Amino acid sequence: MAAPFNYRHLYYFWVVAKEGGMARAAARLDMAVQTISEQVRLLEQSLGHALFKPAGRGVALTEAGAVAMAHAEQIFQLGAQLPAAVRNAATGQGMRLAVGISDGLPKLVVRHLLQPALTESGVRLLCHEDEFDRLLGDLALHRLDVVLSDRAAPPNPNLRLYSHPLGEAALAWLAPVAMARKAKQPFPASLADMPILLPTGHSAVRQRLDQWFEREGLRPQVVGEFEDSALLAAFGRSGMGAFPASRWSHEELLKDPGLQLLGDTPELVEHFFLISAERRIQHPLVQRLLPATRNTA
């Protein structure tokens, strides 16, 4: 029978990889360099492969070491979450759902997508907004339970991420009331006479918007581009220009008496995805998001 895996050896290896050298790891752990080196050597013996190679005054990961490091990151990240998970279970604080939100996703759409999971009592929701690629890395390391985005995860055999379609919503165009009243042409030709606010190119829908303008023969007067959809809507509300919003957002935005619906563009559609680190989703709150949201798309 094989001897049980020694996680203490793995921990020392992990710290050395984080610090980039035996001496720095020893200083962090307040241990002798020889002790750290011996623990890493024992791990390499048990795995049958060298995990480090010399690099200047420090060390670098070998290909085998990079694989070991990826697993170690997951193991110790889960270990860091263990005390809070046990505490929440023991005190009845409810279930935790850590969601990564792509910075190109409209905030009002996020609320719509997450609503099916929020019907459970005692849910503790943690939302992290960041760039798409950074969120996928955090998801692969199990720092997040799920990522919501306007695009599917690109193929990457090293990350093993799975994209689940949540639905789609057509875009509509809104404008400040005073600006809409001055329009001399019907929609969409009226957009040519208005200042326009658009999402930046980091949003998946921007390319479709540019192509739509070209098909319609419109040359928009773009006066603002925004990575954050809430900021885009805020400047639109302030009177800066007309702007697009998804069907799931514009109904809420039109509660503002200073905004007016210019027209719908059913041919312009935003797609929404739930990205997980597992093909078969185990988290019960994430499971709720899939069928409930898809049925309302």
Same domain, 286 and 154: yes
Same domain, 70 and 174: no
Bridge-based pairing of strands 162-176 and 259-276 is: antiparallel
What does the alpha-carbon distance between residue 3 and residue 141 come to, in Å, rounded to a whole number? 27
Q: Please count the structural domains in the chain.
A: 2
Same domain, 138 and 216: yes
Which one of 93, 114, 144 terminates a domain?
A: 93
Given a cut of 50, whether residue 296 has pLDDT beyond it is no
Q: Are 248 and 150 in contact (CB under 8 A)?
A: no
Min mean pLDDT across 6-15, 81-90, 238-247, 258-267 is at 81-90
**Model pLDDT for residues 135-181, shown as the tens digit of each residue:** 998 898 888 999 999 999 998 777 788 999 998 999 999 999 999 99
- Tell me how far apart the terminal alpha carbons of the chain are, to the nearest angstrom: 53
Domain containing residue 18: CATH number: 1.10.10.10
**Model pLDDT for residues 41-100, shown as the tens digit of each residue:** 999 999 999 999 988 888 999 999 999 998 888 788 777 767 766 766 655 556 788 999
- Please name the residue that has the structure tokens 């918007």: 209
Range of the domain at 223: 97-297
Same domain, 30 and 117: no
Which helix (H) or strand (E) segment is 13 a member of?
Answer: helix 7-19
Q: Are 150 and 268 in contact (CB under 8 A)?
A: no
Domain containing residue 204: CATH number: 3.40.190.290
Same domain, 121 and 107: yes
- pTM of the predicted model, to two decimals? 0.65
